[in-house]
Amino acid sequence: MTMSRLRNVRLIPMVFGPLVAVLAVAEVRLDDFFGAASTAVWVSGVVMGAGLMLAAWWPLAGTVVAAACLPVSMVAFGAPGVSGATMIGLLGAVAWAGWREPRRRSVVALCVAGASFASTSAVTASPWELLFVPSILLPGWSMGLLARRNGERAVKLAELAAALDAQSEAIAKAAVAQERTHIAREVHDAVAHSVSVMTLQLGGLRRLLADRPAEQEVVAGLERLGRQTVEEMRGLVGILRERVDGEPLTPMPSLARLDELIADVRAAGLAVTLDAPSDLPRLPPVLDVTAYRVLQEALTNVLRHADAAPTSVAIDYTDQALTMEVRNAPAPIPSVNGTRTGTAKVRNSPAATTPPNGKRTGHGLVGMRERLAMVQGSLHTGPEPDGGFAVRARFPLPRAW
């Protein structure tokens, strides 16, 4: 329960207490039953009102103060009986204790209030009050318990609803992942297989048309398109299966997000300059993802193995191919006294450096070559004359059919 809501709930005894005090004074003024003890009666009513206000923070203590007003007014000041305002106030105190206090503490408040009424019945020698008191206090206390249980049930229902929402979200994510896997499997097992068979049959038909060059050229084009389609499907299958367990699916890697990639590596401490046309063509999905991953791997290698040497990225394209060059400057060599002098010829090569444990981290150049082989691209890497290192990749663009 929030503090603001708790403060709003406390307004109940804060308002109820003064009303009981006013009611006690009005009862004494309008009823002559109390006679000479009228002053003690209305004073006890005012004290009870203060006890009810105290119950806003300490329900049990407030109930004890309110209950003490009855025997004090009757035993000490000789009041002839219990006033109606006092009875209403004590009933409200017991109900409030039943709502705001745990069950064991609220039972103590009920017993204190009952003992207070029992002491007054001993003074008045009225057995009726011994029967009347429980019939008044028990329903009030029960109403307080009912309100407390309803509040606890509401909290549990809210927690259950939040848990169900989280479970529903997890189930939805699992269903999406399962459906993506199912689609990937169907594309790989059914569609890609069928297209592969069609491509093989087109290759056989092309060989049969050796004496008909025009038709052979058309069939050869269809065969190339079929092989390209198969590669595209394989790449899409890999994309469909790419996801991180427990994490929402991230946006598709794409050269359209090139600025984000450059910003990330700059934030990691790599000084990068970018030379790329603002109107990069819309690439096929597999080629787009491959180019992004190759660039990402090349920049990551510079961060890992070249001491974050200043790096330049150049991207260009023609109708035939997209070219990409990542070149890092030579890294300074630390001297004995800790200052850097000279440059490293091979040390900053992404492929040349191996961690002390003898194991490479990531796929490095091997991973880039595998990605480029999937799209019939080419990769050239090696040290530069000035001691830097360059990665040059070429991605052939498919013909527009």
Residues 168-181: pLDDT tens digits? 888 887 787 777 77
Mean pLDDT score of the chain, rounded to an integer?
A: 76
Dmax over CA atoms of the chain, in Å, equals 134
pLDDT score recorded for residue 315:
93
**Token pair for 383:** 């040290």
For the chain, what is the HEC assignment?
CCHHHHHHHHHHHHHHHHHHHHHHHHHHHHCHHHHHHHHHHHHHHHHHHHHHHHCCCCHHHHHHHHHHHHHHHHHHCCCCCCCHHHHHHHHHHHHHHHHHCCHHHHHHHHHHHHHHHHHHHHHHCCHHHHHHHHHHHHHHHHHHHHHHHHHHHHHHHHHHHHHHHHHHHHHHHHHHHHHHHHHHHHHHHHHHHHHHHHHHHHHHHHHHCCCCHHHHHHHHHHHHHHHHHHHHHHHHHHHHHCCCCCCCCCCCCCHHHHHHHHHHHHHCCCCEEEECCCCCCCCCHHHHHHHHHHHHHHHHHHHHHCCCCCEEEEEEECCCEEEEEEEECCCEEECCCCCEEEECCCCCCCCCCCCCCCCCCCCHHHHHHHHHHHCCCEEEEEECCCCCEEEEEEEECCCCC
Query: Regarding the domain delimited by 255-396, which CATH topology (the fold level of the hierarchy) does it fall under?
Result: Heat Shock Protein 90 (3.30.565)
The alpha carbon torsion through 321, 192, 238, 245 (nearest 10 deg) reads: 160
Ranking 67-81, 149-163, 273-287 by mean pLDDT, the lowest is 67-81
Token look-up 């848990």 returns 163
Mean pLDDT of 187-200: 72
Residues 293-335: pLDDT tens digits? 899 888 888 877 777 788 999 999 888 899 999 998 876 554 4
Mean pLDDT of 360-374: 69
- Whether residue 125 is predicted with pLDDT greater than 60 in this model: the reply is no
Residues 148-157: pLDDT tens digits? 888 888 888 8
Confidence at 357, pLDDT banded by 50, 70, 90: very low
- Please list, residue by residue across 150-179, b when 16 or more beta carbons sit within 10 angstroms of its beta carbon and e when fewer do: eeeeeeeeeeeeeeeeeeeeeeebeeeeee
What is the distance between the alpha carbons of residues 4 and 28, in angstroms, rounded to a whole number? 38
CA 61, chain centre distance (Å): 43
Mean pLDDT of 70-88: 70
Residues 341-351: pLDDT tens digits? 444 433 344 43
Confidence at 1, pLDDT banded by 50, 70, 90: very low
- Whether residue 11 is predicted with pLDDT greater than 90 in this model: the reply is no
Confidence at 338, pLDDT banded by 50, 70, 90: very low
- Whether residue 354 is predicted with pLDDT greater than 70 in this model: the reply is no
Confidence at 130, pLDDT banded by 50, 70, 90: low
- Whether residue 112 is predicted with pLDDT greater than 90 in this model: the reply is no
What is the distance between the alpha carbons of residues 359 and 173, in angstroms, rounded to a whole number? 36
* Pairing assessment for the beta strands 311-317 and 272-275 based on DSSP bridges: parallel
Written as one letter, the residue type at 34 is: F
pLDDT score recorded for residue 313:
94
| Terminal Cα-to-Cα distance of the chain (whole angstroms) | 65
Counting every residue written for the chain, the total comes to 401
- Whether residue 15 is predicted with pLDDT greater than 80 in this model: the reply is yes
The angle that helices 213-241 and 192-208 make with each other, rounded to 10 degrees, is 160
Angle at the Cα of 56 from the Cα atoms of 144 and 157, rounded to 5 degrees: 50
Q: What are the residue ranges spanned by the domains of the chain?
A: 3-125, 175-241, 255-396
Task: Report the percentage of the chain scoring pLDDT > 90.
Answer: 6
What is the distance between the alpha carbons of residues 289 and 135, in angstroms, rounded to a whole number? 79
Mean pLDDT of 267-275: 86
- Whether residue 238 is predicted with pLDDT greater than 60 in this model: the reply is yes
